[in-house]
Amino acid sequence: MTNQKVLIIGASSTIAKALVQAYKIMGNVKVVLVSREPEVIPIRDVVYIQINDYLENTIVAAIEKIKIVDNTPFTRVFICNGLLHSDSVKPEKRIEDISAIGFQNTIWVNTVVPMIWIQKLTPILTSKIECKLVVFSARVGSIKDNKLGGWYSYRASKAALNMLLKTTAIEFARRAKNIKIIAFHPGTTDTKLSKPFQKNVPKNKLFTPEFVAQSVISVTNNMPIDGTASYIDWQGESIEW
């Protein structure tokens, strides 16, 4: 596919890095990256915007820089930010493990940050050019699918993200008809996010970031602009909300 312009937010994500490589191999794709991490290896023709944090003012300032890259509209946006564990956040096994600060940190990264980006990007994404807006969700955010329990904050933050995306798609059907919102579940992928939890994952169910990058690109390419949000997995199959 030619004449694509792609924005990848949270570009230090292992899946995001594989996406960048996949788009660069295609050629004819303009790629703009945003991350808190410094650009480790400059990639030719890729615009890299480093930010200090994901506060609202920082996002607004980053978008001003994005706007001066050139004024052609984006055809794809990927929001890759996600937090499952950190030095201070551990996914909860039981109700006693829930902490206010852990919940706040998780919901900030997984839910609030993507929504601030969507809010601030809406004016530059709204046009006559089709744009697929992909936000990395997770199957554990499905309320219907929750049979195992655990991971209270991560689950809740992705469920809240899904609700916000569905609500945004209803508004976009009226005022930004060119934008298709996709809540994407990559499957368990070999990244730092899943590392501590890979022990019980069968080898054929632990995907490489390269495989997931190809899958999100092809699944996204095949989704019509239909005024609804889609919650789909790496195979392009719908997940019940």
Point out which residues bind ligand NAP (CB under 6 A): 10-16, 35-37, 54, 80-83, 109, 113, 136, 138, 185-186, 188-189, 191-194
Sheet holding 229-233, edge to edge: 46-50, 29-35, 4-9, 76-79, 131-136, 179-185, 229-233
Q: Which two tokens stand for residue 139?
A: 């199957």
Rounded-to-integer distance, Cα 53 and Cα 75, Å: 25
Least gap, CB of 63 to ligand NAP (angstroms): 15
CA distances from 24 to 31, 63, 101, 234 (A): 8, 22, 39, 21
- DSSP 8-class letter at 126: -
Residue placing its CB nearer to ligand NAP in the complex, 13 or 215: 13
Least gap, CB of 150 to ligand NAP (angstroms): 15
Least gap, CB of 67 to ligand NAP (angstroms): 20
Residue placing its CB nearer to ligand NAP in the complex, 75 or 189: 189
Residue placing its CB nearer to ligand NAP in the complex, 67 or 205: 205
CA angle 239, 204, 160 (to 5 degrees): 30
Least gap, CB of 135 to ligand NAP (angstroms): 8
Rounded-to-integer distance, Cα 210 and Cα 51, Å: 25
Least gap, CB of 75 to ligand NAP (angstroms): 21
Report which of 176, 174, 162 is spatially closest to residue 132, judged by C-alpha positions: 176
Residue placing its CB nearer to ligand NAP in the complex, 13 or 75: 13
**Bridge partners, residue 180, by sequence:** 132
Least gap, CB of 172 to ligand NAP (angstroms): 21
Whether 103 contacts 153, CB under 8 Å: yes
- DSSP 8-class letter at 238: B
Residue placing its CB nearer to ligand NAP in the complex, 75 or 81: 81
Residue placing its CB nearer to ligand NAP in the complex, 14 or 230: 14
65: amino acid identity, one letter: K
Least gap, CB of 195 to ligand NAP (angstroms): 9
Residue placing its CB nearer to ligand NAP in the complex, 56 or 226: 56
Rounded-to-integer distance, Cα 171 and Cα 164, Å: 11
